[in-house]
Structure 1
């Protein structure tokens, strides 16, 4: 039995979705973030030394990192339906977007979030003023342009493709779901990316996704 060590409002939500799409029975062990630090509880370190989510156990096997988990589940339980055939363009796209999600897109979104929180917590006023000035320069010169370029690339890809790797849902879509939801859930989301917004609404409407929400509990990005 696959056990998902699930942290509320985290990347492990997409692992639950993957399991639902694959039709794999699973158990959810819930963990709650610290209300002050927003970090995972120390009890997760009993499962994996880094004490972070997502992480799954499958018998005596422990797998951490969402991309590695998606790959493991697809290879173990996908029966060839969750990974495109190797040496095809669909498989190349699958690998690209599977790694793009965390390796490229989430990095920039996290930088933006960290900068915003740093400004919010800055005291006294003159420190906040300096922090805002620094954030504005970093956003204008680096983070902002990178996020815009990433979104433009995704929008272009989704213009010609229903899913990220071919004409069927794959592990790449599961992996890309979290950064796109994190972006789309912001009130300031740019409406210049209708294909991305439509894509997020489309996968969120899937029966497997909805079942995963019921299993996982609170998830603010849905």
Structure 2
């Protein structure tokens, strides 16, 4: 049986959400972050060479990385409709958004978030300089790229209720978490009304609510 090793306030909430959407039996082990460093505990890091969330185990299999885990779980649950087939019209948008969620959007959001932490934790004497450097980096790199991704997302969601088309898929799980984090951090402005409505639809799903209840501590920060 697949067991989710779930780190509080982490991207592994995606996998918990997926498992609740599928509705089958699964194992669950909760890990708390170190209250001072906010990092994963040593026993969690020992599960995977990366030492990052999420991680699942299945017999002798130990697997990290959100999208790899999603694919592994869906391979084990063939009687589901969360991954469009190769001849499905939604297959191409599914593939794009499933991978853009992590490869583009999440990485940009995480980079911007890490930069903000770097400013906050820098020595006071050089904080002003660090803030200017990070602001330059944000305006030259993170800001424009995030605007492009979010603009594409807004356009897609203005035409469809879900990111790959007319039905909910695993791409919505991969992307939905990241958009929720943007919303919680005040980074989803009124310029993106369809994306805001999308977040509300994702948060209203019974499986998302069940995942939150099982987690019991989710606040969305850190990622």
8 Å CA contact 1:14, 1:174 repeated in 2: yes
Matched, 1:72 2:75: no
SS in 1 for 2:86: coil
CA-to-aligned-CA distance 1:100-136 (integer Å, 9 cap, x gap): 01100111111211111111112233x0111111111
More deviation in 157-166 or 182-191? 182-191
Q: CA deviation at 1:188?
A: 5.0
Where in structure 1 do 4 or more consecutive aligned residues deviate above 6 Å?
A: none
C-alpha separation in 1, matches of 2:28 and 2:58: 12
Deviation digits for residues 114-171 of structure 1, max 9, x if unmatched?
Answer: 111111112233x011111111111111111111111111000111111122321111
How far off is 1:78 after superposition? 4.0
Give deviations 1:179-219, integer Å, cap 9, x for gaps.
Answer: 11110101353111011111111011111111111111211
Q: 1:59 to 1:112 in 2, by over 3 A?
A: same
The answer to whether residue 82 in structure 2 is matched with residue 82 in structure 1 is: yes
Matched residues in 1 for 2:112 and 2:210: separation? 31
Paired residues for 1:151-166 under 5 Å: 151-166=150-165
Aligned to 1:100: 100
List per-residue Cα deviations over 1:3-28 (Å, max 9, x = no partner). Answer: 11000001111111101111121221
2:10–2:220: 8 Å Cα contact kept in structure 1?
no
- Paired with 1:49 and 1:128, the residues of 2 have a C-alpha distance of 33
Match of 1:131 in 2: 130
Residue 120 of structure 1: aligned partner: 120
Partner residue, 2:219: 220
Structure 1 residues not aligned, in runs of 5+: none
Alpha-carbon RMSD across the aligned residues, in angstroms, is 1.6
Aligned-partner SS, 1:116: helix
Tell me which residue corresponds to 1:210.
209
TM-score by length of 1: 0.94
Q: In the aligned structure 2, how far is the partner of 1:207 from the partner of 1:173?
A: 14
CA contact (8 A) 1:55 1:63 kept: yes
Q: Name the CA shift for 1:14/1:181 in 2 (closer, same or farther; >3 Å).
A: same
Q: What does residue 146 of structure 1 align with?
A: 145
Q: Which residues of structure 2 form unaligned runs of 5+? A: none
Which residue number in structure 1 is paired with residue 53 of structure 2? 53
Count of residues in correspondence between the two structures: 221
> Which stretch has the larger CA shift, 84-93 or 102-111?
84-93
Q: Does the alignment pair 1:193 with 2:205?
A: no
Q: Between 94-103 and 38-47, report the one with greater CA deviation.
A: 38-47
